[in-house]
Chain A
Amino acid sequence: MRPDFPLPDTTWEPTREFWAGAARHEVRIPRCDQCGRSCWYPRERCRFCEGTSFQWVTMSGRGTLFSWVVVTHAFLPQFADLVPFVPALVALDDDPAVRLATRVVDCDVDTLTFEMPLQVTFQPITFDGVDGQVTAPLFAPA
């Protein structure tokens, strides 16, 4: 395992542009040149039409809460400082079929509701016992 796990490897080709975009405070998602649909996760072939060429597009950064959990047990030792935290799937307004795994922050967990509007917020993520930080697209109530 990489020494900076569970930070992302921002050089890994399939998600390199996603993390490069996050560093610029942009949500970047690949769009299929053939059928025009957003393709998430970024795979070699479009799930919808088998197309193989894509353009990365900047999304609005707005979305809705698809589902979430409240983690109170640190499943990895590196998560110890985060607990409690709220991993979530957020459906992007530009294409709700795109669900980003993310964290909901700056909120009272008791006020979270399904499909509530959220806005991206770019924040550095760090982990207990791991050197370094990466700017990541987290979400907060809009």
Chain B
Amino acid sequence: MAAPATDWGWATDFEDVRGEVAICGIGEADHSKASGRTTKEIVGQAVERALADAGLEPTDVDGLMYIPLPEQFDVAAFHEHFGTSHDMWESRAGGGMRWAATAPYEAARALRDGAAHTILNTFGVAWATQRSQMVAGPGESHAHEGFKQNLEIPFGWFPQPVYFATVARRHMHEFGTTQEQLGAVATACRRHANLTPGAVMHDRPLTMEQYLASPPIVAPFRKEDCCLISDGGAAYLMTTTDRARDLRTPLVEVAGVGLGNSVTGTHWAEQPAFTSTPQVFAAPAAFRMAGIAPSDVDVYTCYDPFTIHTIMQIEDSGFCDKGAGGAFVAGDTLHFDSGKLPTNTHGGLLSHAYVLGIAHVVEVVRQLRGEAAAQVPDATFGVYGGYTGPQAATLVLRRG
């Protein structure tokens, strides 16, 4: 059972969109360390592959979703890439993180209204390339925020690895979570990446012994508790379930979506439930829409910038009791072939690619089609848990 809703957040009230939308095409760009590519080149490649997967032409796409971060793939970029000029419905409520989970909800409403018929959601980053040029990265947006500049950064409580190592240590104190349990998350992800062609850490095994022997960088975190910084991106295409039945790809439909919100934003020192995520609010809403229980989920992916996020979201989504997540993930629970809850079966942000969750959705679709590299047998329900700090979202997908 998930922790009860408290005074620190709430679930956004969503209309029921169960069964209305299908994900009919998926594509990933090449994921890599610093590559010299631009974000638009990366996303363009992912979009080409999603179109090829669906058997659609660029002119078939009449809706485009992205997040308004620099250099994302907007309508102008789409037309420049494909040499097209047709009218497109556009939404900035797309991209990765929690939006990779809620984009299908926004798409459902646009499909209902007839605003668009085939909608593309994309996200990409060139942060590995840009980091070497010292111009961008995940800490950048946080460094410009007033409360962080004046109440956190002067004390060295910055950036994300420091915040979440603080959360992890408190979780260890409150619930008895151990270093080995964090390591179980890191090693499961690495094993999945080792099986997944295209994962950035594909050729780099990681044993528990190696994990424990790795020096802490911000104790209790080792490097292996922290996500990659990589260049890459992904895209997925959405249309009505009826139209998707006529396309070449196996049917994967959206069964439920939920969005949870925290009152404290990205200032985790303020969050009363310090060791929880807004999945506490999001996941029950998504499961209710889908008409399933957490125990019905065959494959799970979650936004995993740090190992502790997998443990917290598993708890907060109701896969186990609050506080039992460490014991739950120990051993082979997360493994694709033998685990009770196969999780981040492509390797996650930790070992596959740091493309902020959109590749997690692609992976769930692959699993439900039976096309994944580390395939879970006979997967019917797959879930993506998206996280953005102040918000978390849950997307339930079902094999048609």
Contact = CB atoms under 8 A, between A and B. Distances in A.
Interface of A: 1, 5-9, 12, 14-15, 18-19, 40-41, 47, 66-73, 75-76, 79, 82, 85, 87-89, 97, 99-103, 114, 125, 134, 136, 138
Nearest to A12: B150
Given A40-B270, A41-B267, A69 B149 contact: no
25 contacts: A14-B146, A14-B147, A18-B150, A41-B151, A67-B166, A67-B169, A68-B169, A69-B218, A69-B221, A71-B217, A72-B216, A72-B217, A73-B217, A75-B139, A75-B161, A75-B218, A76-B158, A82-B156, A85-B156, A89-B166, A100-B269, A101-B269, A102-B157, A136-B155, A138-B155
A97 B173 CA distance: 18
Contacts of B112: none
A41 B270 contact: yes
B34 interface: no
Size category of the binding interface on chain B? 35 or more
Contacts of A47: 263, 270
Nearest to B152: A101
Contacts of B291: none
B208 interface: no
B131 interface: no
Contacts of A101: 151-152, 155, 157, 269
Given A68-B169, A125-B154, A6 B162 contact: no
B159 interface: yes
Given A15-B150, A19-B150, A103 B169 contact: no
Contact of B154 (A7, A40, A69): A7
B167 interface: yes
A70 B143 contact: no
Contacts of B270: 40-41, 47, 99
A136 B216 CA distance: 27
A9 B216 CA distance: 31
A68 B155 CA distance: 12
B153 interface: yes
Q: Which 5 A-B pairs have the closest CB atoms?
A: A73-B217, A67-B170, A70-B219, A87-B157, A101-B157
Given A69-B221, A75-B158, A114-B170, 8 more contacts: A8-B154, A12-B146, A14-B146, A47-B270, A75-B139, A79-B156, A82-B156, A100-B151
> How would you classify the secondary structure of chain B's contact residues: helix, strand, loop or mixed?
helix
Interface in B120-161: 139, 143-144, 146-147, 149-159, 161
Contacts of A73: 217-218
Given A47-B263, A87-B156, A69 B147 contact: no
B165 interface: yes
Contacts of A40: 270
A100 B272 CA distance: 13
A41 B272 CA distance: 12
Contacts of B167: 67
A137 to B, nearest CB: 9
B267 A69 contact: no
Contacts of A114: 170, 173
A114 B173 CA distance: 7
Contacts of B156: 71, 79, 82, 85, 87, 103
Contacts of A136: 154-155
B294 interface: no
A45 B162 CA distance: 28
A114 B174 CA distance: 10
A46 B36 CA distance: 47
* Most A CB within 10 A of own CB, among B146, B150, B161: B150
A68 B217 contact: no
* Most B CB within 10 A of own CB, among A47, A69, A85, A89: A69
A61 to B, nearest CB: 16
Contacts of A67: 166-167, 169-170, 173, 274
A102 B155 contact: yes
Contact of A89 (B146, B150, B158, B269): B269
Contacts of B150: 8-9, 12, 14-15, 18-19
A68 B165 CA distance: 8
A18 B151 CA distance: 9
B390 interface: no
B107 to A, nearest CB: 34
Given A8-B150, A82-B156, A85-B156, A69 B143 contact: no
Interface string B159-198: 1011001110110010000000000000000000000000
A22 B297 CA distance: 52
A69 B166 contact: yes
A9 B149 contact: yes
Given A15-B150, A101-B155, A69 B170 contact: no
